[in-house]
Amino acid sequence: MSDPDTGAMSPHPAAVLLANAGWSALQDRILMDLCHDLNGRIAALYALWQLTEMGETPPTDLASELARLEGVAGRLAQLLGAVDEAPPAPLEPRQLVERALKCLEGASHASHGSLDLAVEGTLPAVCVNEGRCLRTILLFVDRAVAMAGDVAFTIRGDPDGVELAFDVDGGVGPDDGANLALVDAVVRLDGGAVSVEPARCALRLPSLTRARAEGR
Amino acid sequence: MMANRPQAQNEGASTPLQILIADDEPTIVSALEKFLTRRGHAVMTAPDANAALLLVDRHRFDAALLDVRMPGGGLTVLEHLRNDPAFEGRVVLMTGALATDPEIPADPRVLRMQKPFRLTEVILMVEGDGPR
């Protein structure tokens, strides 16, 4: 299926539906993790308050614990921002990726792996639907965690766009490839694509210049 | 009107216990450790299931406080303790009572404590009458 104006390939509607279902499952999982983290923070605050009321010196001060609670609330706000369906707009790609990583940061399901991000060179602004793009990046990062555990992402840019990539030491399995195909289906709605090589996966987003040239 | 304040627990426990606390939440661990130590108990702590299992293999405990959702899972440590004939104590599983929490096996030695919890509740569960 191709766009009559731009000639760009459009994703199959069934693939988009499946990707959206995958997003709903991921969002639910992250929200449950955040609920767990929020509950843990509140439980910690309550324990510290009880010690204080008993006349004990708490092992951690309440202000530090409150700051940690605000950190979890901030991650929750980032995730809820991913449901926004605003029209495509120029955005800083690094901020988008960092928002996605922040949503997953410390979440229980990702606690067995670390997420690192290296930025290579200057990154052009991208032109995407913010909420949808954030969801796409979250799905991509979640797949990366499932495939690689500790993930070292690299983000680099050129005039046509920005590429977020990670290496897979054990190679990309068939199931992983199928899941990434669903991410590809969604990112194509914004003119992007997912490429899967034997030991490397990349998510590409179009630059603002490229998007304008294609009439997006 | 009397304020509903937690009672100071300065009096020691009648029987000092060896207690394991395993949770990936350091503030919870340190608060429980401080509270139970002041009660006269001896406390060892672990941030995850693997570290807890190492302690269980090397030390004898009278009771264990385990977070259900710490890395490695509290139920992993619970199963190890239940299969250890030398362990005759009770286990308190700390849970957020979320829909995704794993199902806790029915066992009279296994108690469930929902976070957030009162520290006085911890005393009842760890020191209270019941199977040991």
Class of residue A21 by CB neighbours under 10 A (exposed 0-12, middle 13-18, buried 19+) = exposed
- Measured between CA atoms, the residue of chain A closest to residue B67 is A40
**For A101-124, what is each residue's pLDDT tens digit?**
887 776 554 455 677 899 998 899
pLDDT at A51 over 90: yes
Residue B128 structure tokens: 């209270």
B33 CB neighbours in chain A (<8 A) are: 59
| Partner-chain contact B116 A42, CB within 8 Å | yes
- H/E element, B60: none
- Which value does ipTM take for this structure? 0.84
B71 CB neighbours in chain A (<8 A) are: 111-112
Distance from CA of A26 to the nearest CA of B (A): 13
CB-closest option in B33, B96, B118 to A36: B96
Alpha carbon distance A106, A85 (integer Å): 26
What's the mean per-residue pLDDT of chain A?
Answer: 82
What per-residue confidence (pLDDT) applies to A22? Answer: 76
The whole-number average pLDDT for the span A142-148 is 83
| Partner-chain contact A50 B119, CB within 8 Å | yes
Torsion of CA A95, A98, A100, A103, to 10 degrees: -120
A46 CB neighbours in chain B (<8 A) are: 116-117
| Partner-chain contact B28 A44, CB within 8 Å | yes
B25 CB neighbours in chain A (<8 A) are: 40, 43-44
Residue A196 to residues A106, A144, A153, A191, Cα–Cα distance (Å): 27, 12, 15, 17
User: Could you tell me the pTM of the whole model?
Assistant: 0.69
Residue B2 confidence class, pLDDT cut points 50, 70, 90? very low
| Partner-chain contact B116 A35, CB within 8 Å | no
Alpha carbon distance A39, A207 (integer Å): 40
